[in-house]
Chains A and B, each alone.
Chain A
Amino acid sequence: MRVILAAAALIFGAFLLSRGDYGTAAFLWATERQREFQNAMAGALQAIRAGDGLALLSLCTMSAGYGFVHALGPGHGKLLLGGAAASGLVPMRRMIAIGLAASLAQSGTAILLVAVGVKVLALTSQHAIALAEGALAAVSYVAIAVIGLAMMLRGFRAARIEAHPHDCGCGHHHGPTADEIARARSPAAALALIGSIAIRPCSGALFLLVIAWRFGIVWQGILAVIAMGLGTAAFNTLAIGGGGTMRRLAGSGGRAAVIAQIAAGGIIALLAGQMAWQFI
């Protein structure tokens, strides 16, 4: 029963964020806040250029706020991270660290794209933004969908093992238990989660860096983009917490873990697959 409730909550949560009047209202609210933050960032950038060193503090604060509210939009990992937390794929504390690493790595990608792509390879900033919103977004969605599928497969594999628990009493260990399968502790799983999110930089971070370079305040821009990543990470921590709560509601034990993993993997694969499909 609790498993069904949690699965329903997970589905509800995913759809609430993207559909319906409440989802729309939340999205519009966040969009309005984003507009305020980005106007404030513009003011701080102008002030820094004019020689006001303290404005760096305000730029970083506003960038962090921007990162937080902007993460409500698609493409910042909330679905994958929340889903992974709900699936119990990775222990909670580790999941939060992964979320932080993913957002900071996403900032890193933006810095790399502007520093190398625009400044070394002489791409225009328009090209860099189109690359981020186009090819890199597509690769990110495909990678996230693949992770979702892998989670599902892992869940099905665990379900098979649970159905045939090797209870032969012959005294030796016959390979992993369902619970062991359901929990991926390998660095590969963490890297896949981080990489699939980080590959696609946020356009907002690119805008900020392009302006900072233009104004000759490069390191301030880089610091602000890192602050933006921290803001995004804070939002994603909420998604991870939400996912983890659903996981706990579903109860512990092999069967709950297996169902949570299949459900979360399926939803991630479906939604990310839908997004990826639109690029084809």
Chain B
Amino acid sequence: MRKILPLLLLAIPLRAEAHPHVFVDATGGFRFADGALTGIRVVWQYDAFTTLLLYDQLNLDRDGDGTLDEADMAEIVRGETVWEPGYEGDTYLWVNGMKKPMSQPRNGAARMVGDAVEVSFDLDLPEPIPTTGLTASLKLYDPFYYYAYDIPGAPLMLAAPAGCEANLIPFVADAQTRALQDQLLQLSQEDIPDDPNIGARFADEIVLRCE
């Protein structure tokens, strides 16, 4: 599925109005070590229809028995976590108001959850960031809104030090929530006064605050 992105990037410049075809139930969260923020963890669960499309796009289930084996899972990990240059994995992290460049995915894994493929991986910060007084914002979205990311569950907190708390701020389409969201956005993303991406408009946000 990821292979489609460079093609789409060539084909579609930023579109003011777009519609999603791929639905991703995502989980995001923060990884810590020795009291510092070291990176994030991302889990993508594709909708069942897109999962079937992966059979074609990654040439899965070559024996045609309808179930995916170990080799298929390895192929999914490869297809989903080897990214083209410039592709940020629809994963955007701001720490203390600054957007952070992230590493390529590590610790990739894939499994089936019911009839949906689930992929998970870690992204690292360039260097650990001390958590004292830290605020961070994690958004998972596709700028083209071809992939619709939804974060249904609680944020992950892996080896989090005391005093750090992550909250999910789901996207809700009403003006009051949006005004609140704008305020929260200003807390963590002062450097982006106006985000032009339609994907960001519909994105859930995970906010981390540490004492």
- In the complex, B163 has a CB within 8 A of chain A: no
CB distance from B3 to the nearest CB of A (A): 6
Task: Return chain A residues, CB-CB under 8 Å to B18.
Answer: 73-74
- By the criterion CB–CB under 8 Å, are A274 and B51 in contact? no
Q: Does B90 contact A (CB under 8 A)?
A: no
Determine how close the nearest CB of chain B comes to the CB of A130; give it in whole angstroms.
4
Contact (Cβ within 8 A) B173 A133 = no
Contact of B100 with A by CB under 8 A: no
Contact of A35 among B4, B13, B23 (CB under 8 A): B23
CB pair A42 B148 closer than 8 Å: no
Near B by CB (< 8 A), chain A positions 4-34 give 18, 21, 24-25, 28, 31, 34
Residue contacts A-B, CB under 8 angstroms, 9 given: A25-B173, A38-B48, A41-B49, A42-B48, A70-B19, A130-B8, A137-B12, A275-B17, A278-B15
Seen from chain B, the residues whose Cβ lies within 8 Å of a Cβ on chain A are 3-4, 7-8, 10-21, 23, 47-53, 55-57, 66, 115, 146, 148, 173-175, 178, 201-202
A24 cross-chain contacts in B, Cβ below 8 A = 173, 201
A31, B53: Cα distance in complex, Å? 19
A44-62 toward B: CB 8 Å interface, digit per residue (1/0)? 0110011000000000000
Q: What residues on B are CB-neighbors of A39 within 8 Å? A: 47-49
Contacts of A28 in B (CB 8 A): 173, 202
Q: How many Å lie between the Cα of A49 and that of B64 in the bound state?
A: 10
> In the bound complex, do residue A214 and residue B56 qualify as a contact, i.e. CB atoms below 8 Å apart?
yes
Q: A28-B202, A45-B52, A204-B21 are in contact. Are A278 and B14 (CB under 8 A)?
A: yes
Number of cross-chain contacts by CB at 8 Å: 109
Residues of A within 8 A of B3 (CB): 126
Task: Decide: A50 and B66 in contact? CB cutoff 8 A.
Answer: yes
Distance between Cα atoms of A43 and B49 in the complex (Å): 8
| CB of A160 within 8 Å of the partner chain | no
**Smallest Cβ-Cβ distance to A38: which chain B residue:** B49
Closest residue of chain A to B174, judged by CB?
A21
Bound together, the chains give a CA A113 to CA B11 distance in angstroms of 17
Q: Which residues of A contact B21 (CB under 8 A)?
A: 203-204, 207
CA distance A70 to B175 in the complex (A): 25
Complex contacts, A211 vs chain B, CB 8 Å:
49, 52-53, 55-56
Contact between A49 and B66 (Cβ–Cβ < 8 Å)? yes
The 9 closest A-B pairs by CB, nearest first: A134-B11, A73-B19, A42-B48, A130-B7, A38-B49, A42-B49, A126-B4, A25-B173, A24-B173
Chain B CB within 8 A of A238 CB: no
A210, CB-defined interface residue at 8 Å: yes
Nearest B-chain residue to A20, judged by Cβ: B175
> Could you tell me the distance in whole angstroms from the C-beta of B139 to the nearest C-beta in chain A?
17
A75 contacts the other chain (CB 8 A): yes
Q: Does A129 contact B (CB under 8 A)?
A: yes
**Residue among B16, B23, B115, B175 making CB contact with A46, cutoff 8 Å:** B115
Compute how far the CA of A43 lies from the CA of B146 in the bound complex, rounded to whole angstroms: 22
Which residues 102-130 in A have Cβ within 8 Å of B in the complex?
Answer: 124-127, 129-130
Which residues of chain B have C-beta atoms less than 8 A from A203's C-beta?
A: 21
Partner of B56 from A25, A125, A204 at Cβ < 8 Å:
A125
